[in-house]
Amino acid sequence: MNLSNLKPAEGSTKSRKRIGRGPGSGYGGTSTRGSKGAKSRSGYKKKIGFEGGQMPLQRRLPKFGFKNINRVEYKAINLDVVQAVADAKGLTKVGLNDLAQAGYISSKQLVKILGNGSLTTKLDVEANAFSKSAVAAIEAVGGNAVKL
């Protein structure tokens, strides 16, 4: 046995269907496309969502909702996360850069501090927004909530 007499296993390969090669082939004439109409022509492409003239699904369903272009998205950070960042670095003032370096936010995100968890040390916290409970908890331990 060598490379010159290798063959694929019996029945594992099929010969290609030769379309449009005359009537004797069985696939001449219309070349398996049926007769006439757009689908038989070259260059035919069905439009996305076209259902043969039936009202398409995306037009049968009603319009729904809207996107508020003025919406401001904040990344929510809880007080226990702020305390963990301050403890890890030994900080008394925690800002957006500290949260970004710790991997909790990206540098472009806006941050809202929420009141879940608790602070154990006096901290000055800088963020774009604060919940009322977060401000109360920060000020309860003698810290400041600085809104940017």
Q: How confident is the model over 72-97, as pLDDT tens digits?
A: 999 999 999 999 999 999 999 999 99
Residue 22 lies in a domain: no
pTM across the whole model: 0.60
124-140 mean pLDDT: 96
- Indicate the number of domains in the chain: 1
Domain that holds residue 90: 74-147
CA torsion through residues 82, 84, 87, 96, sign:
negative
- CATH number of the domain within which 107 lies: 3.100.10.10
